[in-house]
Chains A and B, each alone.
Chain A
């Protein structure tokens, strides 16, 4: 019951008027950014990161929690009404969610999504309260070899298992790790890759890379394809924004199943919530096809409820993993990690001992954020859609100004702004050629951790590489990793074969009729 007591203390901390204000502000900002097309919660957090210099750490993280979860809620609103997901974890919601909206059930779809995200998030936050301290205890038995194995796991999983193309995923990863080695070496104090430029002694700041990759690169990318507008298919959502008892009963099992799928992925570093949302969608679809009257394809409420709950559950647990292990499993978590470092805090087992007020206050604010988000999203989701009335030029003009503001406020140097521009342009090129950017972020964040632990491990063992696979934990991690690689490798080959087949079948008659 230790955890519960601490949580109550956390609530006492989080419920001060000032902190409550930050939660609400965070929720509003997160939802607003999430609702805007093409912007997701990771971009919201990245843009707001420098703003927090004016806040104390607790207030800042409480606001981040609101932004992070708010982005998830906002993303699904957009996925349902416009069929444009803000980030990968909302794609699965568009399949059935948009069909529901098209069938005139938009308000119910929004309600299903909001309640699903609420249930998934609430359950996962509740679990985090009990699991996080245990995880923190467990992680004290982790040595350099184990941490290196974890980092390697995250590297390979995000770049190969999740990315579309292994080559492109690895390239982004190598670029990310490569950027992270610039600056003065933490072990030996050697100057590395600075070529005498004093601004580079501290390395390239993670904040700069994040804002450049996620925000400025996106602005350039959108500017380069402004003339590719597709018909606006926004659906107006008016009507009863609540679920009938029957709908609720139908969605409830899907919410719970989705939550169950999403929970474990919070500690598995595969790049966030996209995998569990797709798995939840797949499961619901499979279950649905066994029913007498299959609903999928016509706007099945379960096909929306499952992924929403899964995405939210993953996010909740991921925050727990970040706090207790210091291991970010998604780009957004990586940015939060950067924020912790800005304040000189290192997430991990020690954080629970050193700043219990911050940790428990933050955990308590998750619950408050969930409730605030349910209140501002359930009845008012259609109002949020009004944000789309902001014309694109002003929206992206504003975002570009915020990029500049954030970076200049943290560094006060023109040099940093030029680095930001360079990274923004590289990010545009990578986006243009379909290189995934999440591995780059993960490489940038975990690169230093991987390097220092690898060197520590080798140093302690006198250069013997066998030390990396000498403990049970490392062996298990590597085995799981190899298993995942083999599994996705087979899946990839099968999918490609199937795709070739159907494409040929579909195109054969069309071609013959043309010639």
Chain B
């Protein structure tokens, strides 16, 4: 490189940044400083130049080069795309060829090598592959046009297979670049620029100066989490691609942070099969130990999740057995300073019709008018009223229900009212919404009875969260308002189905970065709950129509649904991720739903019990009831 005081010929040279022929100290096109450009630089080809070899290649632009030398995008006469790598010595090209060979079928070998003046070059055919970074940009741009499963199969699975293959050969990449990974229409994965492969036996690799790809690189590549890099860094890369593909969001720099994990993908996009969401979240855990140990384990989990998601999608309505357990506890620490349990439960199940209603409600502990326990009991009361409507058959739909099995007919034959539910999803949502609206009105009436002319702000009125599950056979309609949780546990994974209605989550959904949303003042404040009112000029409370969120799911044998207040995830582990993992272990290791519920209560108390604890566990299994004939 020439020093600044060397004489440099500035007349009519190619700008190395944009390829324009320019003069003067700065490129007139892109503003790149040309000072210090030496005659040695002129040895290198420039965009627009032609390189002759087995075919004539026209250099179209520069590519970022991580090794010694320069890279160019080139095109042959037949429009075939090439990448040209130019280096000062043949050894450098040989090193690259060695790295490509180590990748086996995942490498892109040079078609030919040659000389360019005193330099050496390799011409690499690029084929039809698309860089995953480009594919991701397309997925995000078309966020509502692609099904999650299709995205995963098209873009993530090939990469997962590639990483699994490399790990099976005890090779790890230790950091991948999304612009260098190509995936073609046949689902083949290729590395445009070969990553340096390391022997697995040499891991963890020590922290050093390295290039990271913000939003794609694991925290340990930055030096975080101890800085030791191993196969889990590759798992993270595949996982983060899966995550962005499911959430259809642009890469987040928070992906490399070591403390807070990425938000659940379903808060960004409704079409996220819970199984795939759970795999993504585990693969992108900021704590390396919590991720899948290697690419093979990730691939196995991903394939299982895809199978289950497909099975769940194709499952028709039918009978299923359910084992129910529940617990309600004040919380050992919470009970020391707040003797009233503000959580409440409702659970009812009609065995013959396989219809059930399950509600968990968590009263908000800080309120100026009323108290959380009264608010949650209002939810329970209204759940009871709703259940009576179901039992009395007042919720019958207009169309015959194909799913009604022989048990319903038997019941009908006895002349008793048949428990019924609306047939369509919207009808069931309306039912659940009305149940919550009734609870809201009841809260308003209780306050108004005590304070006919309400003086304060409606935000100070007692309130409660509510998560509900309306079950009919294997069809479950879920609703949630507030920050109580619904989880689905299956195949060693746990995924949250509900969306927390707190300020932080709302900001995330509005596109704020996770670090901003989580550090926002009062980030944990509820923005939706049962207990929302306006005040009219006469100081009368006017209930606001509530906006719970709904979801319908076909459950399968082996599924467990967990409805719980936040006392369990908040105190069940060292952090939310750890708590969820422990919750999963409790549920999966328990011999039955009641044991699981008890273990969950113990788990939260062992972790401090700083909040009231309530949970309902629904474990589904094959319907083994004798059928009436």
Task: Indicate whether A and B interact.
Answer: no
